[in-house]
A = this chain, B = another copy of it.
Amino acid sequence: MFDEVADPPTGSRATMKDVANVAGVSLKTVSRVINQEPNVNELLVRRVRDAVQQLSYRPNLKARSLRRLDGRSATIGVLLEDLSNPFSATILRAIEEVATARGVSVLGGSLDESPERERRLTASMSSHRVDGIILAPASPSHEFLAPEQVAGTPFVFVDRPPINLDADHVLSDNRDGTARAVERLLGLGHERIGFLGDDEALWTARERYLGYYEALRVRAIEIDDDLVHLNVHSMTAASALVDGMLALDDPPTAIFTGRNILTIGAVRSLRHHGLESRIALIGFDDFPLADLLVPGVSVVAQEVALIGRRAAELLFNRLDGDRSATQRVVVSTHFIPRGSGEISPV
């Protein structure tokens, strides 16, 4: 034997017990050093630290959280629509920032608007015993999460409110943001304003439509069914619908699009008809390079990172013991004029 104490074998990890053996102290002393408890002899601290170094020891969080009274795993779950889209990605990053600062890791997942995936992934998070879950929901009802909530897992909803469940949530002011933008178009003299919206099943799509509806109502302008299209899912569908509206006997002089891919579809159609500088356009959601298009595309922008940050703050407040009533946080949108929304009717 060349080593005084045998190293643990390759392919397996050093445990606290290995560290104790190498340092010549008890398990409990190692635990004290790792957890920075006071009142440990300097010399022993040093010996433990050296052994940790020598063995590349990493405390096992799974074992720790299994035994600890609070059972915390130092992990939260974040389930969003699609981690590859800029909206979800920005929210995830903002949450990560808050979590990392507290030494908490983030388990992420994409729901793709699938209620079934929502059930599966929340169950998975639950099996991982995450300390809390932030969710941009896909289901028509969240009753099924009640047992998790009762078991002590706090939920914070983002982008859309919970249904049949009492939980904190963070939303944009979809309706007001849209109404104010449509009011701007009305203020310029537009009376025929087209509307393209996403899937009616989505709360955000309905809210944005309601903003449009209310703004017209206030001015006593009747809704023209030829100018309103909901359940538009793609850029190409949006282009085709704008093509159709432009072919009407009485075409719109302005268009409001309820989502960025629909906005881009509208831009393509207007360009195709050479009307991008004649017909006003405002979109909900900012998008990269909107300012580099000609004309620049005016938008109702969401504070996406702020939504993520607020959600994380709410969650950690709950984890810190906040038992106050459920909170709804509404994050303001802001209008960004870039040209396309400032075109007057001819």
Contact = CB atoms under 8 A, between A and B. Distances in A.
A61 B289 contact: no
B293 A61 contact: no
Contact of A292 (B11, B85, B88, B293): B293
A148 interface: yes
Interface residues of A, number: 61
Contacts of A203: none
Contacts of A26: none
Contacts of A125: 105
Interface in A88-112: 88-90, 92-94, 96, 100, 103, 105-110
A324 to B, nearest CB: 17
A62 interface: yes
Contact of A84 (B93, B126, B152): B93
A326 B39 CA distance: 47
A5 interface: no
Interface in A20-76: 56, 58-63, 65-66, 73-75
Given A62-B73, A289-B264, A105 B92 contact: no
B12 A152 contact: yes
A239 to B, nearest CB: 12
A6 interface: no
- The residue in A85, A123, A289 that gathers the most chain B C-beta atoms within 10 A of its C-beta is A289
Interface in A271-322: 271, 287-289, 292-294, 305
A346 interface: no
How many identical subunits does the complex contain? 2
Given A56-B151, A150-B10, A288-B289, A82 B75 contact: no
Interface string A202-233: 00000000000000000000000000000000
A86 interface: yes
A257 to B, nearest CB: 15
Given A13-B151, A66-B62, A83 B93 contact: yes
A187 interface: no
A267 interface: yes
Contacts of A11: 150-152
A271 B107 CA distance: 43
Given A96-B110, A289-B289, A292-B293, 19 more contacts: A12-B151, A13-B151, A60-B127, A61-B128, A62-B63, A62-B73, A63-B66, A66-B66, A83-B89, A84-B89, A84-B92, A84-B93, A84-B94, A86-B86, A105-B109, A105-B124, A106-B107, A107-B108, A268-B292
25 contacts: A10-B150, A11-B150, A56-B147, A58-B123, A61-B127, A61-B128, A62-B128, A63-B66, A82-B93, A83-B89, A83-B92, A83-B96, A84-B305, A86-B89, A88-B89, A92-B108, A93-B110, A96-B109, A105-B128, A106-B107, A107-B108, A264-B292, A267-B292, A288-B289, A293-B293
